[in-house]
């Protein structure tokens, strides 16, 4: 199907945030949750492409280390399918500030976003909040997000990725997003567009 047909066939869009090589070079990177995350992202990607729902990749460019352009790591992890409908680069925690994403989505009539990516409580959550504030309906798909243990600066308590995801769901649900499973999202996309 042509790009123009794809743009007119849906009002949803899949936003895959920061699934990039940069993270694999960080000291906190862990492969333990990657297989389930990869399976969830690929299921969403496959379903969206099959239904001509636009797939957007967003990558983070930072000022130091593996997030700089010079590092060569600001690129998709090797398992993420290439040829998205659009690709944007961001310098903030949300995918909208100074990227052109909002204009691109609105020109295509998208009003519902499916959020997936790395990290759950940072760029995925922040993008969700901003998207909601500027008028999008958002499906936040926790199983298609990835994060890592974090240590509280005051208490020293280590929070697991599961605890972080649960907190993110708690603060987003009903205010900024619908908390949805991969299956929920795929079901709400409906059948393949003609």
Q: In the chain, which residue ranges form alpha helices assigned H by DSSP? A: 3-8, 34-50, 101-107, 125-133, 161-172, 182-189
Helices 182-189 + 34-50 axis angle, to 10: 0
Distance CA 23, CA 30 (A): 9
pLDDT in tens, 12-62: 999 999 999 999 999 999 999 999 999 999 999 999 999 999 999 999 999
* Number of Cβ atoms within 10 Å of the Cβ of 92: 14
Higher pLDDT, 2 or 93: 93
pLDDT over 60 (residue 9): no
Region 98-125 average pLDDT: 97
Instruction: Please give the angle made by the CA atoms of 95, 42 and 98, to the nearest 5 degrees.
Output: 10
Distance CA 141, CA 149 (A): 19
Percentage of residues in the chain having pLDDT higher than 90: 92
- pLDDT of amino acid 6: 42
Q: In what order do the strands lie in the sheet containing 55-60?
A: 86-90, 55-60, 12-17, 112-118, 137-146, 178-179
Distance CA 134, CA 136 (A): 6
Distance CA 28, CA 185 (A): 30
Nearest by Cα to 49 from 107, 5, 108, 6: 6
Sequence-distant (≥ 6) Cβ neighbours of residue 27 within 8 angstroms: none
Task: Look up tokens 């920061």; give the residue.
Answer: 18
Distance CA 183, CA 152 (A): 33
Higher pLDDT, 9 or 27: 27
pLDDT in tens, 133-144: 999 999 999 999
Pair 114, 142: CB distance under 8 Å: no
- pLDDT of amino acid 123: 98
Region 105-120 average pLDDT: 97
DSSP 8-state symbol, 66: G
């Amino acid at each position: 199907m042509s790009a123009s047909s794809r743009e007119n066939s849906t009002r949803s869009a899949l936003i895959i945030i920061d699934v990039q090589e940069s993270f694999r070079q960080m000291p906190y990177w862990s492969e333990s949750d990657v297989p389930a995350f990869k399976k969830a992202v690929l299921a969403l990607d496959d379903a969206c492409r099959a239904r001509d729902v636009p797939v957007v990749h967003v990558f983070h460019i930072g000022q130091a280390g593996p997030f700089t352009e010079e590092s060569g790591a600001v690129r998709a992890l090797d398992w993420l399918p290439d040829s998205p409908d659009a690709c944007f680069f961001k310098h903030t925690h949300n995918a909208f500030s100074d990227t052109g994403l909002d204009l691109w989505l609105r020109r295509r009539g998208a009003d519902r976003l499916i959020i997936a990516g790395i990290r759950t409580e940072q760029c995925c959550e922040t993008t969700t909040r901003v998207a909601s504030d500027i008028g999008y309906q958002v499906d936040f798909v926790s199983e298609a997000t990835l994060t890592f243990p974090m240590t509280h600066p005051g208490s020293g308590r280590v929070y697991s990725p599961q605890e972080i995801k649960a907190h993110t769901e708690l603060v987003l649900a009903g205010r900024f997003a619908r908390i949805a499973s991969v299956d929920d999202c795929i079901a709400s996309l409906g059948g393949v567009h003609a």
